[in-house]
Amino acid sequence: MTFEAVMVPTVIQALGGATAILALRALYQWWTGYNGSGLPYPPGPKGYPIINNLFDMPIEVPWAAHAELAKKYGDLIFFRVFGQPIMIVASEKRAVDLFEKRSTIYSNRPHSVMMHELLEFDNFFGLVDYGPRWRKHRRMFHQEFNHATVPKYHPIVKRYTQRFLVALSDGVDLSEATRNAIAGMGIQVVYGVHVNSIDDPFICDASEVGDALNTAGIPGRFLVDVFSALKYIPRWMPGAGFQRWADHYRAASRKVLDEPFEYVWSLHKKGESTPCVATAMIDRFPEDTVQRHEQSLIARNVCSQTHIAAVDTTYGMMMAFFLAMVLYPNVQKAAQTELDRVVGPFTAPDFSYRPDLDYIEAVLRETFRWHQVLPLALPHCVTEDHTYDGYFIPKGTVVFGNSWGLMHDPDVFPNPMEFKPERFLTKEGKINPEVPEPMALFGYGRRICPGRHFAVDMMYSVITATLTSFNILPGKDEHGNPAKVEAKFEGGAIMCVPLSP
């Protein structure tokens, strides 16, 4: 008997034995829920060995499906897909306990091969580590967009609101006019540049990158996020389309990062720029060359992120407001009556009127509660194993707050599908401080949307100006009658944007 003849069956037997042991181990862990901690994972569907809950993860309207699952499993739902733990936080209490009280371990973003390695998208909201680099970004962003600084952008917001009204009077489609207005405000505030429409290259490029992020952010959209070794597949090979897709959007992302910022910087050097977020940051750059370079990278990031994060989200919320006004004409009438009473007819209210407009405030809050453009917010990732309420939550768990579920919890907001601003008011018509302010649409803990003050101001301006100048009505059908309005949405598994009513 030769050496090979002896060795080959032995190796095959050893491999077979090891595979069998691994399979038995997976089967045992699956059957018993064993995780080595002595505590169970939070409740969730049992799933199957190896693939675990691959077929239990809701794909269609996942936020509503998760809210349904919460009735069975409770307000923490735990899944695993090919071993990757995923947890859904389904109540305000859990959101506060985990995202806020344990924010030191609940503030990372999950690593994605597509997003972070192939698209190289690791700027600001893409930053995985909630560490020193992220904190520098957040601080610079906060400096420009906090509660106290945002009012300095009001003149720009008002100017674009006026343009929006003129566009509507000229017959421009509601959706197009809204997108133009929001994008215009964003670009002017960040880069001090006026753009006429969303066809401007500054806006088109950013929208392209935004679309890529929405696609790459869908869990499981790219196989390379499940089997990371696929990232080594050469571009020429069949099936490597994802590599070419990533190459294209990586280049687009770099363009969005550098081009507008370089343009404004060059204008600023010549004394020809308009004051804006970019120039404010440039003016604060330190003298030291190394620090200056670092600051300039962060500034580019902050500006480009604002641009990408602000437009689709705020536009989507505006569309939700228009849809609600068409579906609930009585609410529209009541809001217009308040504006007439407090501000006077045909006058768009200034920001100074806001504290006196309780019904308008309630309409804003109800819009935030009724619809969320990011119904599952953005994913966070747990950085340490820990135990919570008798459950074991492993390091690396990807955690989604079900904002839609929280805002549609019938115990907190009775008849949640109904658009009813009165739920936020006292009998006397004042804002009721006992009803929780609906903030989940802006996310959680330390990652909560840092642009929320600016977003709310843009919405207040456009909403009040529209209600003052127009009646928002359904379109016409082919017979010239008011069309039946249905709530239709676009966006996929991450974003949910109502189509124009």
Residues making up the annotated binding site for heme are 449
Give ∠ CA 190-191-196 in degrees, rounded to 5.
105
Nearer to ligand HEM, 85 or 443 (CB): 443
The CB-of-447 to ligand HEM minimum distance in angstroms stands at: 4
DSSP helix, strand, coil percent of the chain (3-state; round to 5): 55, 5, 40
134 CB-near residues (< 8 Å, 6+ apart): 124, 127
> Annotated binding site, which residues?
449
Tokens of 378: 């953005």
The CB-of-452 to ligand HEM minimum distance in angstroms stands at: 6
- Determine whether 448 is exposed, middle or buried from the number of CB atoms within 10 Å of its CB (0-12, 13-18, 19+): middle
The CB-of-99 to ligand HEM minimum distance in angstroms stands at: 7
What is the rounded CA–CA span in Å between residue 81 and residue 57? 8
Q: How many beta carbons lie within 10 A of that of residue 461, not counting itself? A: 24
- Indicate whether 451 belongs to the interface with ligand HEM (CB under 6 A): yes
- Indicate whether 397 belongs to the interface with ligand HEM (CB under 6 A): no
What is the rounded CA–CA span in Å between residue 173 and residue 78? 44
The CB-of-498 to ligand HEM minimum distance in angstroms stands at: 13
- Indicate whether 377 belongs to the interface with ligand HEM (CB under 6 A): yes
Site mask for ligand HEM (CB under 6 A), range 69-108, x = bound: ----------------------------------------
What is the rounded CA–CA span in Å between residue 450 and residue 467? 28
What is the rounded CA–CA span in Å between residue 75 and residue 407? 14
Query: Looking only at residues 131 through 150 of this chain, which bind ligand HEM when binding is defined by CB under 6 A?
Result: 138, 145
Nearer to ligand HEM, 98 or 362 (CB): 98
- Indicate whether 493 belongs to the interface with ligand HEM (CB under 6 A): no
What is the rounded CA–CA span in Å between residue 138 and residue 208? 24
- Indicate whether 441 belongs to the interface with ligand HEM (CB under 6 A): yes
- Determine whether 65 is exposed, middle or buried from the number of CB atoms within 10 Å of its CB (0-12, 13-18, 19+): middle
| Part in contact with ligand HEM (CB under 6 A); list of ranges 173-181, 288-296, 331-339, 374-382 | 374-382
- Indicate whether 443 belongs to the interface with ligand HEM (CB under 6 A): yes
Tokens of 28: 């045992």
Among 62, 421, 450, 498, binds ligand HEM (CB under 6 A): 450
Nearer to ligand HEM, 135 or 235 (CB): 135
Nearer to ligand HEM, 122 or 225 (CB): 122
Tokens of 368: 């935030």
Nearer to ligand HEM, 135 or 248 (CB): 135
The CB-of-81 to ligand HEM minimum distance in angstroms stands at: 20
- The secondary structure element, H or E, covering residue 361 is helix 358-370
Tokens of 240: 């490597």
Q: Tokens 């009165």 appear where?
A: 422
- Indicate whether 160 belongs to the interface with ligand HEM (CB under 6 A): no
What is the rounded CA–CA span in Å between residue 66 and residue 59? 10
| Part in contact with ligand HEM (CB under 6 A); list of ranges 14-22, 243-251, 373-381, 479-487 | 373-381
Nearer to ligand HEM, 343 or 458 (CB): 458
- Indicate whether 447 belongs to the interface with ligand HEM (CB under 6 A): yes
Running DSSP on this structure, what letter comes out for residue 351? Answer: G
Nearer to ligand HEM, 224 or 317 (CB): 317
The CB-of-301 to ligand HEM minimum distance in angstroms stands at: 9
Q: Binders of ligand HEM: how many residues, by CB under 6 A?
A: 26
- Indicate whether 157 belongs to the interface with ligand HEM (CB under 6 A): no
Among 449, 493, 494, 495, binds ligand HEM (CB under 6 A): 449
Among 370, 442, 460, 489, binds ligand HEM (CB under 6 A): 442
Q: Which residues pair with 393 in a beta bridge?
A: 386
Q: Tokens 């960040």 appear where?
A: 190
Tokens of 382: 């747990």
Among 106, 413, 419, 454, binds ligand HEM (CB under 6 A): 454
At 295, is the secondary structure helix, strand, or coil?
helix
Beta-carbon-side half-sphere exposure of residue 248 (alpha carbons within 13 Å): 11
Beta-carbon-side half-sphere exposure of residue 208 (alpha carbons within 13 Å): 19
- Indicate whether 367 belongs to the interface with ligand HEM (CB under 6 A): no
Contact 310, 454 (CB under 8 A): yes
Nearer to ligand HEM, 144 or 243 (CB): 144
- Indicate whether 375 belongs to the interface with ligand HEM (CB under 6 A): no
Query: Looking only at residues 294 through 353 of this chain, which bind ligand HEM when binding is defined by CB under 6 A?
Result: 305-306, 309-310, 313-314, 317
Residues of the shown chain interacting with ligand HEM in the complex, contacts defined by CB under 6 A: 124-125, 138, 145, 305-306, 309-310, 313-314, 317, 373-374, 377-378, 441-444, 447-451, 454-455
